[in-house]
Amino acid sequence: MTADPNTAPTPTEVRAALTAAARYALRAPSVFNTQPWRWRVGPGDVLTLRADPTRQLRSTDAQRRLLLVSCGAALHHARLALAVAGHRTEVTRVPDDSDPDLLATVTVVGRHDPEPAEIRQHLAGSRRRSDRRAFADRPVPRAMVDRLRTVVEAEGAHLHLVRPDQLSMLAVATANAAAAELDDPAYRAELRRWTNRPSDSRDGVPSTSAVGPAPRRVPIRDHALGGTPGLDAGAGTDRGAAYVILFGRGDSPRDLLTGGEALSALLLTAVADGLATAPLSDPIELDWPRWLMRDLLAGVGEPYLVIRLGFAVDATPPPGVPRREPADVIEFVD
């Protein structure tokens, strides 16, 4: 049914939609599943996104790059939920330079007819999970990658498909970055903190979703770190996996926020298309491997994240990660 653009949504409708959008955004991906955001519903027809600095990874993400990408993913989730609910919005990103934790305001400005692609992405939100198991030998079709590139560019970012001749550099950069981080006691303590969370914290990466060691084309972070991982790598070899680098023209807070929105759109579209996904941030977290990622981009942009795409060998989805309670993330203002 087509919405009448001349009929403004009622205040009650808007408040319910903003609340539902903030709740849907709890599903967004974030580094170490820190969920480093807060939402404010109101006053009126405005939804406000703020970073939560208490959830910043001080060792792994000292410059807040991954925090901002994570918050951008949550912003896209909220925008998507509002669009599917039939609301047209205007977004102001990083509205106040004097308040670095104020990231965006989303204002409902009218009615919107959801597009089929928005509905597909929204439905994929409940199925999206990072799958760290090895993917099948079946190659990802180039047409799928091209479709993801189009989705990313529509959000204001860019996508580079790592070529076969570049894969060794990606693998070496990832392995060396992981080794360098593991040599840092602060990193090891931070990783343990976010992979051994209290049961009531509703965040972090539990060992049930960690994958045991196995030969991989590009190494996967050890989320168990001396413990027992809940999953085996499986029968796959990653030979059919595609590795893509999400990047933009700069690394300002606005750029990184936009990169996170593009990440969300990419992951949801990939899942809707039947792909398994696994973001890789290891080669982005330290300065020198990030320089190598810039080299893979021929120096044309700033890398935000690497994503492994492929077809799952095991149809059983990996375990989900916990999500924070809405009351801990969302506040209401009249």
Domain count, the chain: 2
Within a domain: 104:
yes
**Co-location of 202 and 268 in the same domain:** yes
Segment 35-55 shows an average pLDDT of 98
Within a domain: 137:
no
Owning domain of residue 40: 11-127
Q: Looking at residue 5, what is its pLDDT?
A: 58
**Co-location of 59 and 157 in the same domain:** no
Q: Rounded to 5 degrees, what are φ and ψ at 247?
A: -145, 170
Q: Looking at residue 1, what is its pLDDT?
A: 41
CATH number where 61 lies: 3.40.109.10
Q: What is the mean pLDDT of the chain?
A: 95
Segment 131-135 shows an average pLDDT of 96
Segment 62-84 shows an average pLDDT of 98
Distances (CA, A) of 110 to 39, 75, 130: 21, 19, 35
**Co-location of 292 and 156 in the same domain:** yes
Q: Give the chain's end-to-end CA distance (angstroms, integer).
A: 31
Query: Which of 127, 156, 176 represents a domain boundary (last residue)?
Result: 127
Q: How many CB atoms within 10 Å of residue 206?
A: 19
pLDDT for 115 beyond 60:
yes
Q: Looking at residue 3, what is its pLDDT?
A: 52
Within a domain: 334:
no
Segment 23-52 shows an average pLDDT of 98
Within a domain: 208:
yes
Query: Which of 98, 127, 156 represents a domain boundary (last residue)?
Result: 127
Collapse the DSSP code of 50 into the 3-class scheme (helix H, G, I; strand E, B; otherwise coil) and give the result: strand
Segment 38-52 shows an average pLDDT of 98
Collapse the DSSP code of 303 into the 3-class scheme (helix H, G, I; strand E, B; otherwise coil) and give the result: strand
**Co-location of 54 and 79 in the same domain:** yes
**Co-location of 306 and 171 in the same domain:** yes
pLDDT for 317 beyond 80:
yes
Q: Which residue has the higher pLDDT, 6 or 97?
A: 97
Within a domain: 5:
no
**Co-location of 165 and 296 in the same domain:** yes
Between 163-177, 214-228, 234-248, 250-264, the lowest mean confidence (pLDDT) is in 214-228
**Co-location of 161 and 306 in the same domain:** yes
Provide the β-strand partners of residue 276: 310
Within a domain: 148:
yes
Within a domain: 318:
no
**Co-location of 112 and 35 in the same domain:** yes
pLDDT for 135 beyond 80:
yes
**Co-location of 116 and 149 in the same domain:** no
**Co-location of 107 and 174 in the same domain:** no
Within a domain: 257:
yes
**Co-location of 163 and 86 in the same domain:** no
Q: What is the DSSP string of 74-116?
A: HHHHHHHHHHHTTEEEEEEES--TT-TTEEEEEEEEEE----H
Confidence of residue 4 (pLDDT cuts 50, 70, 90): low
**Co-location of 148 and 120 in the same domain:** no
pLDDT for 296 beyond 90:
yes
pLDDT for 117 beyond 50:
yes
Between 224-233, 271-280, 287-296, 319-328, the lowest mean confidence (pLDDT) is in 224-233
